[in-house]
Protein backbone atom coordinates (compact mmCIF):
# COMPACT_ATOMS: atom_id res chain seq x y z
CA UNK A 1 0.00 0.00 0.00
CA UNK A 2 1.35 3.40 -0.95
CA UNK A 3 -0.02 6.68 0.45
CA UNK A 4 0.88 9.81 -1.53
CA UNK A 5 -0.13 13.44 -1.85
CA UNK A 6 -1.30 14.79 -5.18
CA UNK A 7 -1.43 18.46 -6.13
CA UNK A 8 -1.30 20.40 -9.39
CA UNK A 9 -0.84 18.35 -12.60
CA UNK A 10 -0.56 15.04 -10.69
CA UNK A 11 -3.95 15.68 -9.13
CA UNK A 12 -5.47 16.66 -12.48
CA UNK A 13 -4.26 13.42 -14.10
CA UNK A 14 -5.89 11.37 -11.33
CA UNK A 15 -9.31 13.07 -11.56
CA UNK A 16 -11.05 10.40 -13.71
CA UNK A 17 -9.98 7.63 -11.32
CA UNK A 18 -10.97 9.69 -8.27
CA UNK A 19 -14.38 10.40 -9.84
CA UNK A 20 -14.96 6.68 -10.40
CA UNK A 21 -14.00 5.87 -6.81
CA UNK A 22 -16.28 8.59 -5.35
CA UNK A 23 -19.29 7.27 -7.28
CA UNK A 24 -18.57 3.69 -6.23
CA UNK A 25 -18.05 4.36 -2.50
CA UNK A 26 -20.77 6.99 -2.08
CA UNK A 27 -23.46 4.64 -3.50
CA UNK A 28 -23.41 2.85 -0.15
CA UNK A 29 -25.29 3.97 2.96
CA UNK A 30 -25.37 6.61 4.35
CA UNK A 31 -24.83 8.68 1.18
CA UNK A 32 -26.77 6.50 -1.30
CA UNK A 33 -25.43 8.77 -4.04
CA UNK A 34 -26.42 8.11 -7.64
CA UNK A 35 -23.63 10.08 -9.32
CA UNK A 36 -22.32 10.55 -12.84
CA UNK A 37 -18.75 10.67 -14.12
CA UNK A 38 -19.34 13.98 -15.89
CA UNK A 39 -20.53 15.70 -12.71
CA UNK A 40 -17.80 14.14 -10.58
CA UNK A 41 -15.00 15.14 -12.94
CA UNK A 42 -16.36 18.70 -13.09
CA UNK A 43 -16.65 18.86 -9.28
CA UNK A 44 -13.16 17.49 -8.76
CA UNK A 45 -11.66 19.82 -11.39
CA UNK A 46 -13.09 22.85 -9.56
CA UNK A 47 -11.83 21.40 -6.28
CA UNK A 48 -8.33 20.99 -7.75
CA UNK A 49 -8.28 24.75 -8.42
CA UNK A 50 -9.37 25.68 -4.88
CA UNK A 51 -6.95 27.44 -2.53
CA UNK A 52 -4.59 25.04 -0.72
CA UNK A 53 -6.23 21.97 -2.29
CA UNK A 54 -4.75 18.56 -1.63
CA UNK A 55 -5.64 14.98 -2.44
CA UNK A 56 -4.18 12.11 -0.43
CA UNK A 57 -4.43 8.83 -2.29
CA UNK A 58 -3.95 5.20 -1.34
CA UNK A 59 -2.68 2.96 -4.14
CA UNK A 60 -2.34 -0.80 -4.32
CA UNK A 61 -0.42 -2.18 -7.30
CA UNK A 62 -0.76 1.14 -9.14
CA UNK A 63 -4.55 1.31 -8.69
CA UNK A 64 -6.13 4.08 -6.58
CA UNK A 65 -8.21 2.38 -3.87
CA UNK A 66 -8.78 5.39 -1.63
CA UNK A 67 -8.71 9.15 -1.65
CA UNK A 68 -9.20 12.04 0.76
CA UNK A 69 -9.41 15.68 -0.29
CA UNK A 70 -9.06 19.02 1.42
CA UNK A 71 -8.86 22.74 0.70
CA UNK A 72 -9.52 26.14 2.20
CA UNK A 73 -13.11 26.32 3.42
CA UNK A 74 -13.48 29.81 1.96
CA UNK A 75 -13.80 29.79 -1.79
CA UNK A 76 -14.35 26.05 -2.13
CA UNK A 77 -18.13 26.16 -2.18
CA UNK A 78 -20.32 28.89 -0.67
CA UNK A 79 -22.59 26.24 0.84
CA UNK A 80 -19.71 24.95 2.96
CA UNK A 81 -18.79 28.34 4.43
CA UNK A 82 -22.28 29.77 4.91
CA UNK A 83 -23.15 27.95 8.20
CA UNK A 84 -19.89 29.24 9.72
CA UNK A 85 -20.39 32.82 8.53
CA UNK A 86 -23.99 32.75 9.80
CA UNK A 87 -22.66 32.02 13.30
CA UNK A 88 -19.93 34.66 13.09
CA UNK A 89 -17.09 32.13 12.73
CA UNK A 90 -14.12 33.24 10.61
CA UNK A 91 -14.22 30.63 7.84
CA UNK A 92 -10.87 31.85 6.45
CA UNK A 93 -9.14 30.12 9.38
CA UNK A 94 -10.73 26.73 8.67
CA UNK A 95 -9.34 23.98 6.46
CA UNK A 96 -12.08 21.83 4.96
CA UNK A 97 -11.45 18.10 4.87
CA UNK A 98 -13.62 17.00 1.99
CA UNK A 99 -14.53 13.45 1.23
CA UNK A 100 -12.65 10.38 2.37
CA UNK A 101 -13.46 7.41 0.20
CA UNK A 102 -11.91 3.98 0.50
CA UNK A 103 -12.65 0.69 -1.22
CA UNK A 104 -14.27 -1.49 1.49
CA UNK A 105 -11.67 -4.24 0.95
CA UNK A 106 -8.96 -1.90 2.30
CA UNK A 107 -10.68 -0.63 5.43
CA UNK A 108 -9.34 -1.32 8.91
CA UNK A 109 -5.68 -0.87 7.91
CA UNK A 110 -5.09 2.64 9.27
CA UNK A 111 -5.59 4.36 5.92
CA UNK A 112 -8.32 6.63 7.30
CA UNK A 113 -5.88 7.88 9.95
CA UNK A 114 -3.21 8.44 7.28
CA UNK A 115 -5.73 10.49 5.28
CA UNK A 116 -6.50 12.75 8.25
CA UNK A 117 -2.83 12.98 9.29
CA UNK A 118 -1.78 14.22 5.85
CA UNK A 119 -4.61 16.73 5.48
CA UNK A 120 -4.15 18.12 8.99
CA UNK A 121 -0.38 18.47 8.48
CA UNK A 122 -1.05 20.27 5.18
CA UNK A 123 -3.50 22.61 6.95
CA UNK A 124 -1.09 23.36 9.81
CA UNK A 125 1.73 24.12 7.37
CA UNK A 126 -0.52 26.71 5.72
CA UNK A 127 -1.51 28.37 8.99
CA UNK A 128 -5.08 27.17 9.48
CA UNK A 129 -6.34 27.15 13.06
CA UNK A 130 -9.09 24.56 12.64
CA UNK A 131 -10.05 21.59 10.51
CA UNK A 132 -13.64 20.69 9.67
CA UNK A 133 -15.67 18.27 7.58
CA UNK A 134 -19.32 17.36 7.25
CA UNK A 135 -21.24 14.12 7.02
CA UNK A 136 -24.75 13.36 5.84
CA UNK A 137 -27.45 12.97 8.47
CA UNK A 138 -29.82 10.04 7.93
CA UNK A 139 -32.60 8.86 10.25
CA UNK A 140 -31.85 5.77 12.31
CA UNK A 141 -34.83 4.02 10.75
CA UNK A 142 -33.87 4.73 7.12
CA UNK A 143 -35.18 1.84 4.98
CA UNK A 144 -31.83 1.36 3.18
CA UNK A 145 -29.71 1.34 6.34
CA UNK A 146 -27.89 -2.02 6.54
CA UNK A 147 -28.37 -3.95 9.77
CA UNK A 148 -24.58 -4.06 10.26
CA UNK A 149 -24.03 -0.33 9.60
CA UNK A 150 -21.51 1.23 11.97
CA UNK A 151 -21.32 5.05 12.02
CA UNK A 152 -17.92 6.73 11.94
CA UNK A 153 -18.63 9.02 14.92
CA UNK A 154 -16.27 7.10 17.27
CA UNK A 155 -13.43 7.29 14.71
CA UNK A 156 -13.93 11.04 14.22
CA UNK A 157 -14.13 11.62 17.98
CA UNK A 158 -10.89 9.67 18.49
CA UNK A 159 -9.28 12.01 15.92
CA UNK A 160 -10.23 14.99 18.12
CA UNK A 161 -13.26 16.15 16.13
CA UNK A 162 -16.44 17.26 17.84
CA UNK A 163 -19.90 17.57 16.36
CA UNK A 164 -20.57 21.30 15.93
CA UNK A 165 -24.18 21.43 17.10
CA UNK A 166 -26.29 23.64 14.86
CA UNK A 167 -23.61 23.87 12.15
CA UNK A 168 -25.46 22.17 9.30
CA UNK A 169 -25.33 22.74 5.55
CA UNK A 170 -27.78 21.40 3.01
CA UNK A 171 -26.68 19.74 -0.22
CA UNK A 172 -28.71 18.29 -3.03
CA UNK A 173 -28.06 15.06 -4.90
CA UNK A 174 -29.95 12.13 -6.36
CA UNK A 175 -30.24 9.10 -4.09
CA UNK A 176 -30.09 5.62 -5.63
CA UNK A 177 -33.74 5.00 -4.65
CA UNK A 178 -35.17 8.35 -5.81
CA UNK A 179 -36.21 9.59 -9.26
CA UNK A 180 -34.97 13.16 -8.61
CA UNK A 181 -32.50 15.12 -6.52
CA UNK A 182 -33.43 15.87 -2.91
CA UNK A 183 -31.89 18.03 -0.18
CA UNK A 184 -29.74 16.38 2.50
CA UNK A 185 -28.60 17.86 5.82
CA UNK A 186 -24.83 17.69 6.36
CA UNK A 187 -23.56 17.94 9.95
CA UNK A 188 -20.20 19.66 10.47
CA UNK A 189 -17.51 18.31 12.76
CA UNK A 190 -14.56 20.50 13.78
CA UNK A 191 -11.30 20.36 15.72
CA UNK A 192 -8.64 22.85 16.63
CA UNK A 193 -5.25 22.22 15.05
CA UNK A 194 -2.49 22.34 17.67
Q: Which residues of the chain have pLDDT under 70?
A: 76-78
Question: What per-residue confidence (pLDDT) applies to 5?
Answer: 92
Q: Which of 157, 156, 158, 187 is nearest to 171 (CA)?
A: 187
Question: What per-residue confidence (pLDDT) applies to 77?
Answer: 65
Question: What per-residue confidence (pLDDT) applies to 43?
Answer: 84
pLDDT digits (tens, 9 = 90+) for 123-164: 999 999 999 999 999 999 999 999 999 999 999 999 999 999
Q: Which domains does the chain have, with CATH numbers?
A: 2-192 (3.40.630.30)
Question: What per-residue confidence (pLDDT) applies to 15?
Answer: 85
- What stretch of H or E contains 120? helix 111-125
Compute CA distances 49 → 150, 159, 167, whole Å: 34, 27, 26
Amino acid sequence: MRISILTGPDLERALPELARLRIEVFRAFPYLYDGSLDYEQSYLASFAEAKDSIAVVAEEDGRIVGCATGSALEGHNDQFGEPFRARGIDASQIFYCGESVLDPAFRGRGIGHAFFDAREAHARARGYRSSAFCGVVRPDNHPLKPSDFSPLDPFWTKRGYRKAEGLIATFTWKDIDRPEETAHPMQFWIRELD
